[in-house]
Structure 1
Amino acid sequence: MERWCKVVVVDDSAFMRMVIARMLNEDAEIEVIGTASNGLEALEVVKTLRPSVVTLDVEMPVMDGLIALERLMQECPTPVVMVSALTKGGAEVTLRALQLGAVDFIAKPSGSISLDAHKIRDELVAKVKAAARAKLRVLLTPPRRIVPTVSAVPNEWAIVVLAASTGGPATVRYVLSQLPPDLPAAVLLVQHMPVGFTKFFADNLNQVSALPVKEVQDGEVIRPQQVYLAPSGFHLLVERGGRLRLDQSPPLHGVRPAADKTLDSAAHIFGERCVGCVMTGMGSDGAIGLLTVRERGGRTLVQAPETCTIPSMPESALKLGAAQESVPLERLPQRLTQIIRAVVGAVNLIGERSG
């Protein structure tokens, strides 16, 4: 079998370079063709060897990972998987890296020099291969958040479920930055992330979103004009009475939270007032749940696959016949807003006629 996926490993620890290279080379389709010990060296190695993917550490001497990433995207665009310590600082830097163009990231199990790095082998291999197939796009930079005026809470409102995986953080950040503060809907957000990262992701999104973003607390009541982020390690379910429940049943499609669980429960409670949207990501999560939304009278759409970093999730939904529309990322927030207002308008009209 051809080793089609060529990788450069960048880490200031010789031990970690050896461990990561060994894990990757154990896969029959991956070949580590070079290494570098800092960002400046990495730029030269990548320009010379032209790999399929770069794994990039964050904290390095001479030139750190963020500066190297920014330079790399400008001078020699290449898919990058960040390798980051699972700490508060590591999470914040990793989210910044995803905004700068990194495709995905791996959390080191035990900090910067990890003795149990073998625990991430399967995830590392899968993410490197996915990154090699990723489409690098011009980043859509959201504006800085403008604090909105207080909007009147609508009498009728919809529920929106947004689902994303690989490539999702930058995509979600853009979409939320464009939604209006008076949106007559509550937004449930399912983004596949390692445990420990979603709290920082919510804080990051609050920098650009006019709708307040919070990590879900078990049992809280859904309110309109609020974004609820599913915490890593829990499925997010909607219950009767509009309450949110965090569920630790086994992962679905290998992930927890799984968007299928959220979409299915939201569709059964909200019916025609439910809007589902599946965006960039690996795998097929969201397809079956989106079909349930459609079958129960809700509205469904996907991010157009050609505008995704990884198109597998939207493609799965389209193949299943679950999506009514496929919308390019640039137009997705506007179209979501139009659909939500139309759904709420239809509910109001039915209420007036029945009254």
Structure 2
Amino acid sequence: MPEKKKIRVIVVDDSALVRSLLAEIINRQPDMECVGTANDPLIAREMIRERNPDVITLDVEMPRMDGIDFLERLMRLRPMPVVMVSTLTQRGAEVTIRALELGAVDFVAKPRVGLASGINALADEIVEKIRIAAASHVHRIVAKAAARAAASAHAAAAAGPASAAPAPPLGRISTEKLIAIGASTGGTEAIKEVLLPMPADAPAIVITQHMPPGFTTSFAARLDSLCRIRVKEAENGERILPGHAYIAPGGKQFRVARSGANYVAVVDDGPPVNRHKPSVEVLFKSVAAAAGPNAYGIMLTGMGNDGAAAMREMKDAGAYNYVQDESTCVVFGMPREAIAHGAADEVLPLPQITPALLARLRSSTERLHHRI
């Protein structure tokens, strides 16, 4: 039986210590090897040409050309799986969100102090994310996203300013309607694509994206600046309102509860579920109980099975569920598991999920008007 090909990794970081630590962690794995290290992107560019890696780990802040500029050029000229190495700072979080927008598969947040011990403590997470990145569909997703962006830019140019008209309002819709979204690897961009077309009067939206503390704050702020609805991190005890999206804070569990006629956010320090905190399972299970047939579930790209069983609970409680299809997923793990659990009502390419959901909401509004 032929030996399985190892995952070839290039480490790009301006810190000699970080390069050495990452190379050592990678080379300890039987299924991967570090085929080169570079202290800046210009050296990395030549190394990528010569050594043809499967995955790059890329520092966010570097001399001569920062990681974001390099990533933007790389994704335009030679799309490939990239895992960002970020700092646990607000600036690091903001830059990392930008990197994910540009096509990075995932990121690892390195500590600001105790670098050697901190990175070694992250060894399992680092190699898991490299494996996921190596198996991801970055080339295909980046190419499709570029084609969609070009098509929409062309359509906007042809149609003139009217093409930027806001999405038509949904009109009179029950405040009991609730949309729940779960995602992991590749999810930041997928969530953005789901939220951008939402009209300002969309039902309340609750979201769990696997992300560490600090980064969800920057993620919510970025979405809030782009969307017609308000987007924020969920806070314990706050009322969940239409026209708003609430993101589970990193490192906390987020669920929905009923308080009379209202939904309220419950954010606590509960244990990890399916190894995740926040966990999609926790959110979806609470939505099944609190919203039942008034809920709509959306499962997006991600590794593993978090949320699949609870999404089936949502369906059994009367919710209507959308699952992202394999062709548009960065990683078809969580969606595949949701489908396997019989949780999906519709399996759709990412760009079709929001239009399908809005059409369903509008038809329910029309039915309500006819009854009135």
TM-score grouping bracket, smaller chain normalisation:
over 0.9
Could you tell me the TM-score, scaled by structure 1's length?
A: 0.92
Give the match for residue 157 of structure 2: none
For 1:94-130, what per-residue CA distance to the aligned partner results, in whole angstroms no more than 9, with x for missing partners?
0000111101000002269555211111110100000
User: 1:178: which partner in 2?
Assistant: 197
Q: How does 1:1-355 map onto structure 2 within 5 Å?
A: 2=4, 4-110=6-112, 115-136=117-138, 137-138=141-142, 139=145, 154-183=173-202, 185-241=203-259, 242-343=263-364, 348=368, 352=371
Q: Is the 8 A contact 1:238 1:269 kept in 2?
A: yes
Distance in 2 (alpha carbons) for counterparts of 1:287 and 1:246: 21
Q: Distance in 1 between matches of 2:233 and 2:183?
A: 16
The gaps in structure 1 that reach 5 residues or longer are none
Q: Using the alignment, how far apart are the partners of 1:273 and 1:205 within structure 2?
A: 25
How far is 1:44 from its partner?
A: 1.1
Deviations 1:210-254 (A, max 9, x none): 110011110011111110111011111111221110132211111
Aligned-partner residue type, residue 137 of structure 2: K
How many residues are treated as equivalent by the alignment? 350
How far residue 335 of structure 1 moved from its aligned partner, in angstroms, is: 1.3
Give percent identity, aligned residues only: 38
Instruction: Tell me the C-alpha RMSD between the 2 structures.
Output: 2.4
Amino acid at match of 1:107: A
Q: 1:336 Cα shift? A: 2.0
What secondary structure sits across from 2:225 in the alignment? coil
Please state which structure has a larger fraction of its residues in helix. Answer: 2
**Unmatched segments (≥5 aa) in structure 2:** 154-163
Secondary structure class of the residue paired with 1:265: helix
Q: Is the 8 A contact 1:109 1:119 kept in 2?
A: no
- Matches of 2:327 and 2:194, distance apart in 1: 17
Query: TM-score w.r.t. structure 2 length?
Result: 0.88
**Structure 2 CA distance, aligned partners of 1:206 and 1:111?**
31
| Contact 2:322–2:353 (8 Å) recurs in 1 | no
